[in-house]
Amino acid sequence: MTPHETLPPLGEFAIGTNTVAYVMAKKYGIASILPILIGEKAGPHFAIGDTCYLWSEDTKTYNSNGKRIAVKDNEISIKRKVDVKEAYLNKHTDITIPYDELDTIIGYDMNNGGEYKIIEGGRFVLEGTQVLNEPPLMPKQEIRMTTFKEMNKEEKIEHIWEYYKLHIIAGITGLVIIYSFFKHLGL
């Protein structure tokens, strides 16, 4: 990778929410309007150098859906346990391969030898990843707004306060100022 003679270690390999972003973009034809931080990860996402979760290897991290994000050490980040100055490269280069251009990803077990297929023929084949071949399941829900008339007293008060609190505060402040002004004039 120009201009480097060698590459830093692989910092991360992520699949998951990237797949959901890809499916959503394809289904709704919105790839061109996605924010770059979503669009650039609409496929398996590699990072050369440090991980996105720099300094988080010893911290349990979770997605908003409660699933744990697996943050693991590589041969560089593990050095923080001995000499923190040697632990990170302070470099992070993202590489995303669009699913349309991908046929196979094979993982190699460097400790025990052997290989395992993660994606083959553009489909997830590794045990436990096949669910990523399915479109995201989004239950169809009828959205119905509750009218003000249908709300009970507590809900009406909560609604008014939620939507009009700044108006209420400004109005009360204005009345206090006007009252103080007229009181000062002796009226």
Q: What are the mean pLDDT values of the chain's consecutive 10-residue runs (187 residues total)?
A: 56 65 76 70 72 77 73 79 84 74 79 85 81 57 67 88 89 93 86
**72, 57 contact by CB (below 8 A):** yes
Closest CA to 94 of 29, 156, 45: 45
N residues, the chain:
187
**124, 130 contact by CB (below 8 A):** yes
Is 110 buried (19+), middle (13-18) or exposed (0-12) by CB count in 10 A?
A: exposed
The residue to which tokens 């009226």 are assigned? 187
What pLDDT, on a 0 to 100 scale, did the predictor assign at position 120? 86
What pLDDT, on a 0 to 100 scale, did the predictor assign at position 45? 72
Query: How far, in Å, CA of 99 to CA of 19, rounded?
Result: 9
Check: pTM over 0.85? Answer yes or no: no
Query: How far, in Å, CA of 182 to CA of 163, rounded?
Result: 31
